[in-house]
Amino acid sequence: MSETVNTFEAQQQGRPTGPLVHGYEVIIGFETHAQLSTLSKIFSRASTAFGAEPNTQACAVDLALPGTLPVMNKGAVERAIQFGLAIGSHIAPRSIFARKNYFYPDLPKGYQISQFEIPVVQGGALEFFLETGKGADLVREKKTVRLVRAHLEEDAGKSLHEDFIGQSGIDLNRAGTPLLEIVTEPDMRSSAEAVAYAKELHKIVTWIGICDGNMQEGSFRCDANVSVRKPGQPLGTRREIKNLNSFKFMQQAIDYEVRWQIEQIEDGLEIQQATVLFNPDTGETRAMRTKEDAADYRYFPDPDLPPLCISEHWIETVRGQMAELPRNMAARFQADYGLSEYDATQLTQSLALATYFEAAAKASGQAKLASNWITGELARRLNSEDLSVEQSPVAAETLAKLISRIADSTVSNSAAKQVFDALWDGGTDVDAVIEAKGLKQLNDTGALEAIVVQVIEANAKNVAEFKAGNEKALNGLVGQIMKASKGKANPQQVNDLLRSKLAG
């Protein structure tokens, strides 16, 4: 495997140095297991549905009974092709299944069917933004993480320790579940970048629909390979943190691991290549086993499975069935709706969000307003109540109607927020809510003038300050008028009226 490391070494040259931690550069490479969303298993017809009674979804093939033979699931191959197309990889016209031999109680065959020398998906890259800081200090950096490969393999069963005293149970329902293992180059330079990569990968596999992305159920789990080095030095020895199934733990685990490795080195100790587990309760990583090399697995081509052959025609058929990809959709949102790159990226965080935006933009004819409302008010409410856009109590068409009422000056922006709150709390008819709450914008100049005069009279101090040259004093007056109008006045109109009255 020293050859592999040399290749990485060469490929790391010319890549920018990342932020230093106590003078050390952090190097991270990811291996992610995405469970493919097929109904049946990768080499058998047993169901992949989650949560069934133990051992009710494992057939003779999954149990590796003598005389059974694996049969490739076409849907799993097509999902691998889709993934490769989505990230610009080479799809191997001919790839090979290999046996990865090891003993484990939840692996009755004594080997896992995987791909080794020739994987189905080769190369490709993920591009995403790394955001640091908030508000005015927000910095967005474009990052590219190159993929080495993505290969098809079967999952193993599960050992159950919790429900038994002094013994373990084996549940083989998960045995034979199709996985796509996605391996990056060691291109990431901080825990924040690693999390941003994982989120982008999660977005892509769920967007194209090859994986349900459910991290609690283990449908998307990441192994983070972490090492540190002084800038300019060769790559350090890595430790691999296994099975990270939440973005929060991912960040915590890598940060802990980096600190731990630096301490070891500073204490004059060497890092041993190892597989470690993160314990969310203690926030620490702990060595599980010293790392095995590929040679330990005695890989060899599985004689039960022919080479996987994928024709150009098959690839093109799959390409033709794929939905628009997030980056293409973001580019189209910029071109068709005049959105900024930032807004277009925000709105393509998930297919559901992008669909919501497009529906609201089309129905209202006000793309920019729709974008502002969705990334602003709607996102804020969804976040604070931990809901996804699919669960939004305000449908896209309803938001579109509200936006139309802002555009045609029926309601002011601030009154629209009150309407939105009412819609969120169960209101459905926008016009009825506006009517019931008396939020129609004060377009009647006479009524507005009366309020303006009233406020000027009641705020002699502000008026004097403004006349003495303090522009800010005007804001106080505008605020009073807006309040007196219960948010129904048009702020621009208020401003104009106020200025002309004060000048007069």
Residues of this chain that interact with ligand ADP (CB under 6 A) are: 4, 8, 27-31, 183-186, 225-227, 235-236, 238, 294
In the complex, what is the shortest distance from the CB of residue 160 to Mg ion, in angstroms, rounded to a whole number? Answer: 24
Distance CA 443, CA 466 (A): 26
In the complex, what is the shortest distance from the CB of residue 276 to Mg ion, in angstroms, rounded to a whole number? Answer: 12
In the complex, what is the shortest distance from the CB of residue 148 to ligand ADP, in angstroms, rounded to a whole number? Answer: 7
**Smaller CB distance to ligand ADP: residue 174 or 239?**
239
In the complex, what is the shortest distance from the CB of residue 113 to ligand ADP, in angstroms, rounded to a whole number? Answer: 16
> If DSSP codes are grouped into helix, strand and coil, which group holds residue 190?
coil
Residue 235 touches which member of ligand ADP, Mg ion, none, C-beta under 5-8 Å by kind: ligand ADP
**Smaller CB distance to ligand ADP: residue 58 or 126?**
126
Cβ neighbours of residue 297 closer than 8 Å, sequence gap 6 or more: 100, 101, 102
Give counts: helices (H), strands (E), the chain: 17, 18
Contact assessment for residue 229 and residue 27, using Cβ atoms and an 8 Å cutoff: yes
**Smaller CB distance to ligand ADP: residue 152 or 403?**
152
Residue 367 touches which member of ligand ADP, Mg ion, none, C-beta under 5-8 Å by kind: none
**Smaller CB distance to Mg ion: residue 31 or 131?**
31
Contact assessment for residue 212 and residue 202, using Cβ atoms and an 8 Å cutoff: no
In the complex, what is the shortest distance from the CB of residue 285 to Mg ion, in angstroms, rounded to a whole number? Answer: 16
Residue 197 touches which member of Mg ion, ligand ADP, none, C-beta under 5-8 Å by kind: none
Residue 8 touches which member of Mg ion, ligand ADP, none, C-beta under 5-8 Å by kind: ligand ADP
Residues 10-49 that bind Mg ion (CB under 5 A): 31
Residue 225 touches which member of ligand ADP, Mg ion, none, C-beta under 5-8 Å by kind: ligand ADP
In order of 96, 259, 279, the CA distances from 114 in angstroms are 9, 34, 28
Sheet of strand 111-115: strand arrangement? 111-115, 97-101, 300-301
Residue the block writes with tokens 């009073």: 480
**Smaller CB distance to ligand ADP: residue 122 or 413?**
122
CA atoms within 13 A on the CB side of 464: 4
**Smaller CB distance to Mg ion: residue 31 or 324?**
31
In order of 26, 105, 287, 288, the CA distances from 168 in angstroms are 38, 10, 22, 18
Indicate left, alpha or beta for 14 from its phi (over 0: left) and psi (-120 to 50: alpha). Answer: left
**Smaller CB distance to ligand ADP: residue 171 or 185?**
185
For Mg ion, how many residues bind (rule: CB under 5 A)?
1
131 bridge partner residues: 140
Contact assessment for residue 443 and residue 409, using Cβ atoms and an 8 Å cutoff: yes
**DSSP percent split of the chain into helix, strand, coil, nearest 5:** 40, 20, 40
**Smaller CB distance to ligand ADP: residue 9 or 496?**
9
Residue 428 touches which member of ligand ADP, Mg ion, none, C-beta under 5-8 Å by kind: none
Q: Where are the alpha helices (DSSP H) in 218-340?
A: 247-266, 312-321, 326-337
In the complex, what is the shortest distance from the CB of residue 262 to ligand ADP, in angstroms, rounded to a whole number? Answer: 14
In the complex, what is the shortest distance from the CB of residue 36 to Mg ion, in angstroms, rounded to a whole number? Answer: 19
In the complex, what is the shortest distance from the CB of residue 115 to ligand ADP, in angstroms, rounded to a whole number? Answer: 12
Cα angle value 66/43/57 (rounded, 5°): 80
Residue 4 touches which member of Mg ion, ligand ADP, none, C-beta under 5-8 Å by kind: ligand ADP
In order of 449, 451, 474, 502, the CA distances from 497 in angstroms are 7, 11, 12, 9
Cα angle value 488/491/492 (rounded, 5°): 135
In the complex, what is the shortest distance from the CB of residue 9 to ligand ADP, in angstroms, rounded to a whole number? Answer: 9
Residue 227 touches which member of Mg ion, ligand ADP, none, C-beta under 5-8 Å by kind: ligand ADP
Position of minimal CB gap to ligand ADP = 29
Binding site for Mg ion (CB under 5 A): 31
